[in-house]
Amino acid sequence: MHDALQSSSGYHQEIDEALHDAFLRKTLDKFAVEYRASRANVFQEVDERGLIRQIADRKDYARQHLEELYEQFKTEAEKRGVHVHRVATPEEANALIARIAKENNVRRVLKSKSMTAEEIGLNPALEAEGLIVDETDLGEWIIQLRHEGPSHMVMPAIHLSRYQVAEDFTKATGEYQEPEDIQRLVKVARVQLRRKFIAGEMGISGCNFAVAENGAVSTLTNEGNARMVTTLPRVHVVIAGLDKLVATLDDVMVALQVLPRNATAQRITSYFTLMDGAGECQANPDNKKIMHVVFLDNGRTEIAKDPLFSQIFRCVRCGACANVCPVFRLVGGHKMGYVYIGAIGLILTYFFHGKDRARILCQNCIGCQSCSNVCAGGIDLPRLVREIRSRLTQEKGSDLLGSVASMAMKDRKTFHRLLKFASFAQKPFTGKSDTTEGARMQRHLPMLFLGKQGFKALPAIADKSFRDRWPQIRPKLDKPVMRVALFSGCAQDFMYPEELEACVKILAAKNVAVDFPMEQTCCGLPLEMMGQRKTSIEVARQNIAAFRELNPDYIITLCASCAGQLKHHYQDILAGPGEEEVKQFASKIIDFSSFIHDVLKLEAKDFNRSAEKVTYHASCHLCRGLQVREQPRALINDAAEYVPCEEEEVCCGFGGSYSVKFPEISSRLLEKKLKNVEATGASRLVVDCPGCVMQLRGGAEKQGLKVKVGHIAELLAENLKQ
Ligand code: SF4
Ligand code: SF4
C-alpha cells in the first residue's frame, strides 16, 4: 500500500507533489463544483434533514442492539442456507476467507468493491496463499493494475487520467491502447473482465447493509459487476463490518434515499441488489450456491460502547465527506486519508490503521465543517477529529506549537502581557497597508521570519488594544433598550479593535447598553485545534466566570469562530457538574449579524445605502457552524450594493494554526478565493470573522489587489443613519 504517512516531512513532501499534479487539480476542482450543484439539485425533492435524522436514529438503534441483531441475522441467514461467521481481527478474517477458498478448491477469486476488504488488506493476504484475485469494479481494477489503494471510497480511480489508464491497459493486454478513445478503453476493460468473470470460482463482495429481519445482504453499484461476482462463481463470500447491521428492510429503504444522492448525486444507482439466502447454482452438486457472510469486528464493538465515537456506526460510506472537503479537493484521497478517506477516513485511521498515521493525518483538517453539513448519518465529524487530536496529545504528548500556545494562553494576564510586548517589539517592522486604508501590517519582516507564510502579509498588533480603549469609548446611555456584553476574541481585541469599535458605535446609536468584561480571554478554539483540551477547558471556565456577574441579555461576538466555540463546543467540553450554567451562557451567545438583523431588526431604512460594490465571504463557522446565511447578505445589501461571489461559502484557508502548519494548502485556498473575489469587480470584501479578515486582507495585500477587506460591522457603522 502506498503510504504517505510514515513521517510528517514525508507527508508534506507528498502534499506538495499532489498540489503540483495539474491533472489532479483540474479533475478534483471540476468534480467539487459539479458535485455540489448536482447534489443540491437531487436533494430538492426529498426532506434531506429529516432523512438524515432518520438514518441516524435507525443506525443508532442498530448499534444499541448490535448483539441481538447479529444473532437474528445469523438465525435468518442460516435458515436460508448461508454460513455466518464473526471474526475479531483482520488476520482472522483473511485466514477464514483463504480457508473457505481452499476447502472449496478455489484458485481464482473475483472481487467486487469492498472498503472492508481494503481495511483488512484482503487481496495481498489471499495472494500470499497462492490465490489469484481479480478486482472487477472498473476503478478498482485500474488501481489493482497499478498496485495502489483507492483514492475515494466510491470512485477509487478518480485521481487518474485516461493517459495513465491507457498505459496500464497497454501493459495488462500487451497491446497499445489509445488514450484519446475512452469508449475503446472501456471496451478493453469489459473484454478483459468478462474473461475473468467466466473463470472465477469464488466471488467476494462487500455489503452496504446486512438486514437482521431476513438475513439479507445488499450491494449498490453502477456497473453491475457486483451482480456478476455474486451470481456467476459457485462460492460467494460477503465481507461486512458489524456496523453494516440494520434491523429491517425499511431501514435500508430510508438510507437508500440519501446514500446514492450523497455519493454520486444520483437518485438511485443503476443496480441495487438484495440477497437473502444462497441462490441456485448448477455448478454445485446440491444445486445451491455456497454462501458465507463474514462479519468483522476489528474494534467495532468497543467503538459501539464509546459515548462519543459510537456515532461512527451511522456511516453508510457514501464518501460525501470527501466530496465537499476543501483539503481533499486540493490533495486527493491518498493524502486525505489512509484506507478510508475524507473526514471519516481521518477518524477510522485512528481506530483501524495506527495512531501515528492518524496523528499526522488529523492535523490536516481545517475544521471548515463542510463534511458534517452533508454527512448521511449526521455525524459530527469535525468534533470527532478534534477529539482524536486531543486524545493523541494526551497519549503521545504535545507538539512544540501546541505546548507553547498552551503555556502562553493558560494565564490570561501573561497572555495579554505577551501580546502587549509584541505590539512594542514589532514597531521596526510595521507599516500601513497599500490596499486597505489605515490597516497596519507587518511590512518589513525579513523572509527568514516568514518562510512559507510569505503568501500573505501579516497584520500588526494594534498600538492600543480594545480593552485599553474601552474606558474612553464606553457609551453612556440613560435608558437603554437592552443590555448586552461583548466577547472580543484575541484577534479583535489586540489586532482589529476598530471592528469592535464599529459594533459599539451601532449599538450606542440604537440605544443598546454594552459591557466589556476585562477578565475574558481567548475562546479556546486555537487550543482545541492543536489538541490542547486541558488548557481549552481552563480558558472556557475563565470566560464563563468573566460574564457571570453581568447577566446580560445577549453576549455578542464579531468572530464567527469564537461564536461557534462559545455556543456549541463549551457544552461539549464542559459537560458534567455546572453544565446548567454553561448552557445558559451558550444560550446568550449571538453572532454580530444575527443580532443586528434578527434582534435589532435593522433594515434598509436604517442605512444611507452607498453605491459601493461589496462582496462577501461566508466564514465556515458562521454559515455552517451557526447556520447563519441570510442575515449578513441582507445587511450588506441594505448598506451597499451586494455582489455575490462564486463559491462564497468555500473556506478561505485560514483555520488558525492550520495556516501555519499547512501553508501550502492554506495559500491555495486563499488564491482561489481571491480570484473569485476579484472576478466580482467589487471594491470591498466583507466577512464576519477576524481570522478570515487576517487571511483575506493579508492575501489581497500581498497580491496588490485593489479590494478593501474588512469586517461587516465596519461597513454597517460607516453607512448607518445617525
Ligand atoms: S472539517 Fe472541513 S477540512 Fe476537516 S475533514 Fe471536514 S470538510 Fe475536510
Ligand atoms: S461519514 Fe458521513 S459523509 Fe462520510 S462516508 Fe460516512 S456517511 Fe458518508
Residue 401 pLDDT:
79
What whole-number distance in Å separates Cα of residue 177 and Cα of residue 185? 7
Residue nearest to atom 4 of ligand 2 (CA): 321
Residue 263 Cα: closest atom of ligand 2: 8
Q: What is the DSSP letter of 515?
A: E
Residue nearest to atom 7 of ligand 2 (CA): 315
Average pLDDT over every residue of 100-109: 98
Residue 444 pLDDT:
59
Residue 407 pLDDT:
81
Ligand 2: does its nearest atom lie under 6 Å from the Cβ of 344? yes
Ligand 1 contacts (CB < 6 A) are 324-327, 343, 365-371, 381-382
What whole-number distance in Å separates Cα of residue 569 and Cα of residue 539? 12
Block residue for cell numbers 495512531: 355
Residue 329 pLDDT:
96
Contacts of 242 (CB under 8 A, 6+ apart): 66, 70, 86, 295, 296, 297, 300, 301, 304
What whole-number distance in Å separates Cα of residue 564 and Cα of residue 43? 27
Domain map of the chain by residue range?
Answer: 67-301, 466-598, 604-719
Q: Residue 580 CB: number of other CB atoms within 10 A?
A: 8
User: What is the CA(256)–ligand 1 centre distance, in A?
Assistant: 24
User: Closest ligand to 369 CA?
Assistant: 1
CATH code of the domain occupying 67-301: 3.40.50.10420
Residue 370 Cα: closest atom of ligand 1: 7
Instruction: Taking each helix axis as running N to C, give the angle between helix 533-548 and helix 400-410, from 0 to 180 degrees, rounded to the nearest 10.
Output: 20
Cell of 26: 483540474
Q: Residue 124 CB: number of other CB atoms within 10 A?
A: 12
Question: 287, 280 in Cβ contact below 8 A?
Answer: yes
User: What is the CA(49)–ligand 1 centre distance, in A?
Assistant: 20
pLDDT of 448 over the 60 cut: no
Q: CA triplet 673, 713, 424: central angle to 5 degrees?
A: 85
Cell of 677: 473575489
Mutate to test the pocket of ligand 2, among 54, 256, 317, 380 (most ligand atoms within 8 A of CB): 317
Residue 470 pLDDT:
96
Block residue for cell numbers 476493460: 189
The yes-or-no answer to whether 67-301 and 604-719 have a common fold is yes
**Band of residue 674 on the pLDDT scale cut at 50, 70, 90:** very high
User: What is the CA(296)–ligand 1 centre distance, in A?
Assistant: 28
The answer regarding whether domain 466-598 maps to CATH 3.40.50.620 reads no
Residue 417 pLDDT:
77
Closest by Cα among 514, 516, 511, 508 to 480: 511
What whole-number distance in Å separates Cα of residue 444 and Cα of residue 674? 23
Q: Residue 510 CB: number of other CB atoms within 10 A?
A: 18
Average pLDDT over every residue of 246-256: 98
Ligand 2: does its nearest atom lie under 6 Å from the Cβ of 375? yes
Q: How many helices (H) and strands (E) does the chain have?
A: 38, 21
What whole-number distance in Å separates Cα of residue 375 and Cα of residue 351? 20
pLDDT of 424 over the 60 cut: yes
The residues with which 687 forms a beta bridge, in sequence order, are: 711
User: What is the CA(379)–ligand 2 centre distance, in A?
Assistant: 8
User: What is the CA(364)–ligand 1 centre distance, in A?
Assistant: 8
Sheet holding 482-487, edge to edge: 512-515, 482-487, 554-557, 589-591
User: What is the CA(121)–ligand 1 centre distance, in A?
Assistant: 26
Q: How far is CA 511 from CA 170, 499, 545, 597, in A?
A: 76, 19, 26, 15
Mutate to test the pocket of ligand 2, among 259, 262, 312 (most ligand atoms within 8 A of CB): 262
Question: Dmax over Cα atoms in the chain, in whole Å?
Answer: 95
Tell me the DSSP string of 202-262: EEEE--S-EETTTTEEEEEESSSHHHHHHHSSSEEEEEEEGGGEES-HHHHHHHHTTHHHH
Express as a percent the part of the chain with pLDDT over 70. 96
The residues with which 641 forms a beta bridge, in sequence order, are: 613
**Band of residue 428 on the pLDDT scale cut at 50, 70, 90:** low
Question: 303, 309 in Cβ contact below 8 A?
Answer: yes
Sheet holding 235-241, edge to edge: 82-87, 290-296, 235-241, 202-205, 108-111, 132-135
Ligand 2: does its nearest atom lie under 6 Å from the Cβ of 392? no
In a 3-state reduction of DSSP, which class is residue 693?
Answer: helix
Q: How far is CA 553 from CA 326, 375, 518, in A?
A: 37, 34, 18
- pTM (two decimals): 0.92
Question: 239, 122 in Cβ contact below 8 A?
Answer: yes
pLDDT of 403 over the 90 cut: no
Burial 303-320 (b: 16+ CB within 10 A, else e): bbeeeebbbbbbbbbbbb
Q: What is the pLDDT of residues 285-338, one digit of tens each?
A: 999 999 999 999 999 999 999 999 999 999 999 999 999 999 999 999 999 999
What whole-number distance in Å separates Cα of residue 319 and Cα of residue 38? 15
CATH code of the domain occupying 604-719: 3.40.50.1860
Tell me the DSSP string of 76-128: HHHHTTEEEEEESSHHHHHHHHHHHHHHTT--EEEE---HHHHHHTHHHHHHH
What whole-number distance in Å separates Cα of residue 586 and Cα of residue 588? 5
